[in-house]
Structure 1
Amino acid sequence: MHTTTLHTVTGPLSYEAVRGPALAHEHLALDLDLKGDGGAVLDPRRHGPSVAAELGALREEFDLSLVVELTCRGMGRDPGALAALSRESGVAVVAATGWYYEPFHTPELADASVERLTDTLVREIEDGFGGTGIRPGVLGEIGSHGDLPSEPESRSLRAAARAASATGLSVATHAQLGRGGLAQLELLTAEGLPPERVSIGHQDLLDDPGVHKELAASGAYVAFDTVGKESYQSDDVRLRLLLSLIEAGHADRALLSCDISRHGYLLTEGGQGYGHLFRSFLPRLRAAGVDDDLVDLMTRRNPLRFLTGASVEEI
């Protein structure tokens, strides 16, 4: 099953209209503040103007055309704010549904069957968020931590796979610190979801080229989606890992993004910003011999193929 239409927060969008690059894993409005220090927050009222300004500037300078916004249930999701940010910046935004990893699970997960969780997701995908009329266009970031998902994380992943199969959407995961991606993929595909409808998250935090190649060879997307988060991993290591994946013939499975998830990462607060991928990392990739066609593959065609299920030849 594949579609030519993306569900964005401002309505349907043909993938043919996406002419410039996409950021495959970002947050524009979220609240992950478990510590109470207010750091892991992007509050639309306080930080929205900075977010919109950054996106608008990237549209002007690099033709940024799409952001896949993976803030889901229990992460402070705000579809109305996403629609306002999209209109203000001129950048299309795809919103998400599903459940993050266990510390952020909402009470509805406590005793719900996979069937009930699937129904919840399918209903939101088909009817939209509350009464907003805004529909999710992806399931993500569906989370687990450790080498194997916990029992509630397994139910969440299985429900996401079933909802994806039922609606034609794809699944983007959160693999905490890059671990457990193969187990996530096994769970998702066991529910009948094709691997090409799966993106395994945060693989640039896992210094294991063998795992990356195994995921890519299966047909799944390998997300190098924390580019610029030097406190977790250096971009030197990310570059080495991505070049290894490309040299193995798997550029068609790579997704790239920055995963801005704290207001301290914004340019206005001295952070690397959403544009770090374009301003810093891609120039280094090009300097290492990666040509413009491969850059376009990884930053535009791959995200569109992931979201729609279309083939390389079609995009």
Structure 2
Amino acid sequence: MNHPAPPVLRTVTGDLPAGSVTGPALAHEHLVLDLDHKGDGAAVLDPHRHTAAVTTELTALREEFGLGLVVELTCRGMGRDVRALARIAQEARIAVVAATGWYYEPFHTPEIDGSSVEELTDTLVREIEGGIGATGVRPGVLGEIGSHGDTPTAPEAKVLRASARAALATGLSVATHAQLGRGGIAQLELLTGEGLPAHRVSIGHQDLLDDPAVHEELASSGAYVAFDTVGKDGYQSDGTRLRLLLALIEAGHADRVLLSCDISRHGYLLDEGGQGYGHLFRSFLPEVRAAGVDDELIDLMTRRNPLRFLTGGHVEEIRA
């Protein structure tokens, strides 16, 4: 009798059986980043100045909470540096998955305007199959594929369609950036319209959208609903996030939830007085537990769900 091969994660240091990740994951983070369009250097995680602090935080989270995996969604045009990611992964002894794709339109790179959906798809597939530049590091996810507003712009729609086609061609999943939580349903319609199954899609930043009906619609479709800006109180209070999360759990959709902090500027790091990557574990999850959510559901949302999202695996393949 032939048994299916166990699901595998493609990480910056090589392939890893998904079942070997026994601790929680951060499903949407940035470890190296440059989104500095204002010239103030705030939206930056510099590979030379900040990686020591990043590595120290991740190491502490591995030791204290068993953190096993970071899904790093810095893609083309966002200051991606996979060599730095590999160094962080090795030093912190945590698996890191790198991404490819394009962010939302203000950060699009020049090739998007002059390329067709087919040409953009080919660009992504080449990177997924052949590695990023000369590094040999292959992306393990498409993300964070961006749009802003209730409907993607024409260039954003082109990128979403290309991402769906590349995902189908390579077996990867797609994580999106829905600016301030808006436009997730339109994103999902574009992605699934290209034939990508909903369970290979994570709709980003839904904790910034105070609309439980949208969350339930996304989850009911089979897509993952990312509450991935936990701790960013300037955008949304954690109290609101908790209410929205509990509503989704009570509706029976804990198996569609992804959780993370989306650290996207150096001021969020612990050594600069920010909430850090550990805010999810140190502050938010204790509140979730106090609201009556048990450890099995916590493990589902923080470990099994991100593993199944990345691999397309089913519940029975990645057990508690």
Report the counterpart of residue 110 of structure 1 in structure 2: 113
Q: Which residue is 2:166 aligned to? A: 163
The 5 Å alignment of 1:266-281 reads 266-281=269-284
Q: Is the 8 A contact 2:25 2:69 kept in 1?
A: yes
Q: What residue is the counterpart of 1:291 in the other structure?
A: 294
Paired position in structure 2 for 1:38: 41
Distance, in Å, in 2 between the alignment partners of 1:253 and 1:125 is 26
Partner of residue 76 from structure 1, selected from 43, 61, 79: 79
Q: Is the 8 A contact 1:2 1:310 kept in 2?
A: no
Q: Partner residue of 2:13?
A: 10
Cα shift readout 1:4-59 (whole Å, capped 9, x = no counterpart): 11100000000011000000000000000011000000001000000000000000
Does residue 25 of the first structure (1) align with residue 24 of the second (2)? no
Matches within 5 A, 1:118-129: 118-129=121-132
Q: In structure 2, what residue type is equivalent to 1:186?
A: E
Shift of 1:113: 0.2
The correspondence for 1:183, drawn from 182, 186, 203, is 186
Is 1:301 matched with 2:298?
no
Aligned to 1:262: 265
Check if 1:138 corresponds to 2:147: no
TM-score, normalising length: structure 1: 0.99
| Structure 1 residue 172 corresponds to structure 2 residue 213 | no
Q: How far off is 1:211 after superposition? A: 0.0
Mapped partners of 1:272, 1:300: distance in 2: 21
Cα deviations across residues 221-263 of structure 1 (Å, max 9, x unaligned)?
0000000000000000000000000000000000000000000
Superposition deviation, residue 2 in structure 1: 8.9
Give 3-state SS (helix, strand or coil) of 1:45's partner: coil
Unaligned runs of 5+ in 2: none
Separation (CA, whole Å) in 2 of partners of 1:131 and 1:47: 24
Distance in 1 between residues matched to 2:202 and 2:308, nearest whole Å: 11
Give percent identity, aligned residues only.
Answer: 78
RMSD: 0.9
Gaps of 5+ in 1: none
Distance 2:315 2:248 in 1: 18
CA contact (8 A) 1:227 1:277 kept: yes
Residue 150 (structure 1) aligned with residue 153 (structure 2): yes
Q: Give the match for residue 237 of structure 1.
A: 240
In 2, Cα distance between equivalents of 1:314 and 1:135? 24
Runs of 4+ in 1 over 6 A off after TM superposition: none
TM-score norm. by structure 2 comes to 0.98
Partner of 1:204: 207
